[in-house]
Structure 1
């Protein structure tokens, strides 16, 4: 469901990262198989990512103090290596593998689409990933952010309202002049509840080609686009 070009009232486009900007599933599959041939990369990627929300919940509940995503990723990694026959990985290899999240590849449309959107809007990250992770990722992948914003800045993970409203405060604009761009309807719903505009991006292969994701439009979103170039078309970039 693509809308024809209409000028958006948003001034700032804030982008979710994991799954929206970068293909974490294929990237993690590649990284673990490069390190140890024969590992089921698909199952490993799903297990590692599967620990993400439970780990964040431990922080949000107060069981753990404020913790960077790099540290949560390492906790999850240490908890799954044995089941994949990786318990003998050296500390150096574990550190290298944990930094795989800094080396995720962007979807094919991302670089060109972001460059187009940047001509009209301020573009920034809004991710639970920490600042170092997001900066390293951007450097490696050539992502042209105007600003890197993270849960680390606000000391709160999405979907805490502090993250969405924090973007508006950083740029000194009303929430309605910020648009969250994401491939996850729950993230977008939380942003809308804070008064942000929302744009859904279809990423049907986020969990791998064998697990196509439902990318049906939600009329509550301001925009719905196949990819970043289609969003740029709709926004006149």
Structure 2
């Protein structure tokens, strides 16, 4: 059985976590399949937008605790390799050349909340809870912390990571952790409509370059950041999408993306 299902429909790639009996908990195999699926979607010319969703009642309950217990028998080097696998997945999603939308129909806890954190947009049902509960079991939210601080700021990140408390979808939206709240009966449709709007209205090249720009400039000082931004600005002017978009605008033509 595939732990991550892959489907493309109307230029939207759907990646579906498929371990419902374990609340879509993450283990090495699932992380590997997720990474392969995101790579497949990034290269798939039929897919412009990616939606991450899940089967079962829970979006993702985080790390498989049984699997974590087994890892305690590993050497330090083996645990470094396993942790690096998850770090690589998170970096892959963050740096991906395509927009990723999380469709969160149930709780997103610990590593599951980490997956939601990495997505560019997120839609959640009102009943979904969010949180990084690692400190409650003697673990730490190490990898996601880098991305969470970038997303919502250090103050709110400290509150969530150090308390380990769960928060509601409404509070997650206030914190900037998720974007939209919608009833479960409308969730799939709302995500689909939003993804289609991005497909129809926006240049894929421009969205990918904007993601790259935002990811890199945060690690640079002002001078180097401006230099990098200016270079990307100049490179984009030479792109086919920019030429097409400006020509269409000046000629008062509808742009077909």
**Structure with the greater relative contact order (CA < 8 A, sep ≥ 6): 1 or 2?**
1
Larger helix proportion of the pair: 2
Larger radius of gyration: 2
User: What TM-score do you get using the length of structure 2 for normalisation?
Assistant: 0.25
